[in-house]
Amino acid sequence: MAGLGDRRRGRSQEGTLKHGTRWGQSPRLAFSDTAILADMARLLACDTSFPPGDGYAAFAALLRPELDAMGFACREVTVPEALWAAPGARGERLNLIAARRTGRPVCSLYFHVDTVPPGDGWTRPPLACTREGDRLHGRGAADMKGCIAAAFAALRAAEDCGIALAYDPVLLFCTDEEGGRYPGIRYLAEQGMVEGHLLSFNGGAAPRIWAGCFGSFDLLVRVHGRAAHSGDPAGGVNAIEAALPLLNALARLQAEVQTRRSALPAPPHYGQAPLTALLTVAAAHGGQKGSSLPACFELLINRRYAPEEDFAEAVAELEKTVREAVQGGPATGLETHLLGHLSPVGDPGGPHWPRWQAALSAGFGFPPESFRRWGASSSSDMGWVQAAGISEILLGGLARPDSDIHGADEHTTLADIKALAHSTLAYLAADFASDLMPEEAP
């Protein structure tokens, strides 16, 4: 597969700074639209949807030529199949670690490379980069392939301009964040492969101090009936109709779950509403044609549980609801399978946050006084990183409330990609806010 393309394309005429310029000599950087758009076109065209997650090796092959050209040494780490195997998942779980070492302290930059499947309702091609003015549409544009393009833009600018870095960047391109049983970053963290402090790009374009987030798990439910001709249904059991009591029971449980409030501060766009636990019937499948009774009805249920809740108790409550709703009915069988699980993230604060806030202000123009601390009922694989002993996690990214992440026509903007690139380079640069570095400044 072709790599991310000619690194010279569109850069000589647009440029950044004169070679040898120190960070502090320029308040703004100019990043190449042409190079960013070329990266986005290739990144979005490579299908890394999870499920099934069979595009990771192809995506790593796409990244490696660019990483090689920037002087990164690449290492491939595959998660053993026994850890991630689940219904609907297939393909090698190949994670890519790209390191460039000079002996400076390490900053690990984390990206998950998977996206949710495109889904319905798109008015633009989901596996392509469609530019409309400043907007860039495509599955993964904001979550989070656009963040990869921003990081590449930052690293190219540092190289082109000879900007000295305070940290050796180690890039982690990881699998199965979108609800997988065993996310790649979990495996890397548990194997001791995450170095230095961690900057996650699984966040938003906002003046935010991350307070943590909810946990999440998916439960796959299969209600079995018995196939028969719909015109002569004697002896048949319609699996969809047998599941109707289950759907009603889930609606009642959903109402109960959503009364459970979390003490995590809610995002600003919630207004005065609190964060609450959530239950979602995320997918339903059954039947094939009008002349047959469906023999199986399948539901995918997502549960977002607050840090104050217990994971085992949340699973048990949901399984009990499913079991009791189906027992005694016409169904001929019932299966439940626990699929993906993301652990909640506790307080990710630490000594590197003040400098990262200053870098976000430099890139996005956020006034320092605008930063607020808040959590989210969305989830992150960073909970597993904390469980492995890495408590401080910096957070940035491209998500905005109107970005349609996980929905049709997901998008980001060129302006936000450039702002994130600017913030990233500021944070890595040796002479940016060196007084805020916890380590001894170079």
- Catalytic positions: 114, 177
As a whole number of angstroms, the distance between CA 202 and CA 145 comes to 10
Residue 299 burial class via C-beta count within 10 angstroms: exposed 0-12, middle 13-18, buried 19 and up: buried
As a whole number of angstroms, the distance between CA 80 and CA 181 comes to 12
Separation in Å, CA 290 to CA 256, 283, 293, 297 = 36, 21, 8, 15
Q: Give the total residue count for the chain.
A: 442
As a whole number of angstroms, the distance between CA 164 and CA 238 comes to 67
Tokens matching residue 346: 């506790």
Residue 64: Cβ within 10 Å count = 18
Q: ω into residue 207 within 30 of 0, thus cis?
A: no
Residue 227: Cβ within 10 Å count = 18
Instruction: Write b or e for each residue in 340-355: b if 16 or more Cβ atoms lie within 10 A of its Cβ, otherwise e.
Output: bbbbbbbbbbbebbbb
- Which are the contacts of 21, defined by CB distance < 8 A and separation ≥ 6? 161, 162, 163
Strand-pairing partners, residue 237, are: 226
